Amino acid sequence: MMKSYLAAAIQMTSKPDLAKNLLEAEELIELAVHQGAELIGLPENFAFLGKDHEKQAQAAEIATATEKFLKTMAQRFQVTILGGGYPTPVDHEPTKAYNTALLVAPDGSELVRYHKVHLFDVNIPDENTYQESATVMAGTEIAKVYHSEQLGNIGISICYDVRFPELYRHLAKEGAEILFIPAAFTAYTGKDHWQTLLQARAIENTCYVIAPAQTGNHYERRYTHGHAMIIDPWGNILADAGKQPGVAIAEIKPQRLKKVRAQMPSLQHRVFNL
């Protein structure tokens, strides 16, 4: 039976500097562990946040270093870690990389690997062009839910996915109780949509949401919204990292999950099982 435990959503201001980012990620993981966290999520682009073509050019190097890092951290601190989005090379398409999230067990083994499905090709008036599909290969499959007796059942997504409720409904149908939504949400859209979307995904699926985030200025005019959060199945915000790099920590309680799902059994009342 799943037990109560502490989860952490890490917030970073990643730069176009792999070594520096991994060092900062390590410090924040250590901070979370010292506060008792057993499940830790890192945001999208935690290992490298720079221009798309720079990221693409270094994809193989970033992927190798990042995967080694995640496995080392999980083993060293004996925790389960989600690396919430980093580039991994695509064999048949050398000009593109997947945007990959990796869930790693305390023994360093790979639990779930997910390639981001929905790519951020959006024009917003913040002086940046977002054309993720120019350098990223879209994944084609929803991540399998990781079923854990200790931590509960974990579903994984990345950033822009949050706008597609059918993905989360599928994860919920597959038994998800905790939804990871690591992100590098733009400051422009984040101020209006981030919290609302996260709460909606938690409420409609009666799941905990763990949403690690990027914050602040990364390079030139690229700003992200911050507010890494953990939200309970009723939509209550349990922890919010605000605007500074740091950690949002909250308790994941199986009794709370059970109670909310008994009070509001909407998952059992679905009519259109699309």
Catalytic annotation, pick one of 24, 38, 44, 67? 44
Closest CA to 153 of 179, 176, 180: 176
Catalytic, 141? Answer: no
Catalytic annotation, pick one of 116, 177, 207, 253? 116
Catalytic, 159? Answer: yes
Closest CA to 50 of 217, 208, 183: 217
> Six-digit token pair at 235?
């939509």
Catalytic annotation, pick one of 159, 177, 207, 253? 159
Catalytic, 116? Answer: yes
Q: What are the residues facing 39 on neighbouring strands?
A: 7, 80
Strand 5-12 with 213-219, pairing:
parallel
Q: What are the residues facing 5 on neighbouring strands?
A: 252
Helix (H, G, I), strand (E, B) or coil at 98: strand
Q: How would you label 221-231 residue by residue, b for 16+ Cβ within 10 Å and e otherwise?
A: ebbbbbbbbbb
Catalytic center residues: 44, 116, 159
